[in-house]
Amino acid sequence: MFIKSESRYNIIESASKIESALTEANWKIMHVHHLHNSLKNHGYEVLPVIVMEVCRPDYSVRMLSLDNERIYSSLMPCRLSIFKTSDGKTWISRMNSGALAKEAGGVTEEVMTLAFEEIEKILAPLTK
């Protein structure tokens, strides 16, 4: 249900390149969570984890404008996680929303499959 790919770049460069590529492709960066900093504020130390909430409004509206599709709004916005592991590698993870969408069918399947495929194309040049 989840996919991870090793990044060609360190965590900071990865986040920057992903943000640029998404913005260029008409995706909106809704929020960026630096989970390691949040945990540090509570006295815990973990390796860096950056989670991006991203959205394509023209895709989202297709689902959110229909009463029977709003049940899937808990899967929105799309999320990407960039994290560092103890071996020094940087990884990009995301949900395989295309596979999940098959269960929903209809407009949700169309929209989530389209979003998944587009994000995969955006990430391809950034991953090994």
Q: Which long-range contacts (CB under 8 A, 24 or more apart) does 116-121 make?
A: 118/25, 118/56, 119/22, 119/27, 119/54, 119/78, 119/80, 119/94
What is the tens place of the pLDDT at every residue in 68-105? 999 999 989 999 999 999 999 999 999 999 888 888 89
Q: What pLDDT, on the 0 to 100 scale, is given for residue 26?
A: 96
CA atoms of 66 and 52, how far apart (whole Å)? 26
CA atoms of 92 and 88, how far apart (whole Å)? 13
Domain at 2-126, CATH class: alpha beta
Q: What pLDDT, on the 0 to 100 scale, is given for residue 71?
A: 94
